Amino acid sequence: MIQPSNLRLIAAIRARLVWISIGTAWGGLLILHSIAHHLNWLLLHLHWQLMLIAMMMPSALPVFRSLKQLTPRLIDQIGFIFPYWLIWSSFAFVLGWKPFAHPGHSMNSYAFPWLLWQGIILVGAGIFQFTPLKQSCLEGCRSAVSMLLTYYDQSIRSMVGLGIRYAVNCLGCCWALMAVMLVAGMNNIVLMVALTFVMSVERQWKHGKLFSLIIGGLLIVAGAALLALPLYKQVIA
């Protein structure tokens, strides 16, 4: 039987390994951006997997920690995590669109239609923050630990179902914010760090719902400014 002191040591090692993996993912993204300006299909999906670890893992850590405490069975843990990974990985098919396939050429480098597109996406993402769907999915993410404790019945089937439910809530909560990053360019590390912070605060801070509305307002203002920029240039020309 493993002693309590050894269990604490194992838990501490696991926690450090998780944060090391997150740091490694950020380092991998920096290296990938510096050496690859034109990504092929394989590098695109490698880029997306690194982004999943770097951006989504910090906000999901409380849920994964509770999962390990709830069940020591590896098959149950995989049953919960695999749907999460699969659903978010499927989002990578969007990356096949040409502007995303070249992270060294964000939409900032395109002409006015892309500027218009950026403004529309920002305004749309901002409006989405105020919708019942966003708030419902955000509540699902914020209460995921309670969901695990309430509905897990010690079967792999229930764990897979809970994993799907959590992944769908997570995707519904964050897809618009991720779309903002894709439109701005996948090489924008500063924006990636900012969005990681936003998604973590939304889910973990006690005032996360209010924070999500503030972010929505800021996105609408930023998008409106981009949409108005061409008109302003015409006026002063």
pLDDT at 108: 46
pLDDT at 233: 63
Task: List, run by run, the mean pLDDT of 10-residue segments along the chain (237 residues).
Answer: 54 70 81 69 78 84 82 84 86 59 46 72 93 92 85 85 90 88 76 90 90 95 85 63
pLDDT at 235: 62
For the whole model, what pTM was predicted? 0.77
Work out the mean pLDDT of the chain and round it to a whole number: 79
List all residues 6 or more positions away from 215 whose beta carbon is below 8 Å from its beta carbon.
Answer: 126, 129, 198, 202
Question: How do residues 91-133 score in pLDDT, each as one tens digit?
Answer: 766 655 545 544 444 444 444 566 788 888 899 999 999 999 9
Angle, vertex CA 112, rays to CA 111 and CA 116, nearest 5: 130
Contact criterion met (CB below 8 Å) for 138 and 207: no
Contact criterion met (CB below 8 Å) for 142 and 65: no
pLDDT at 179: 84
* Six token digits for residue 55: 């951006």
pLDDT at 84: 87
The number of residues in the chain equals 237
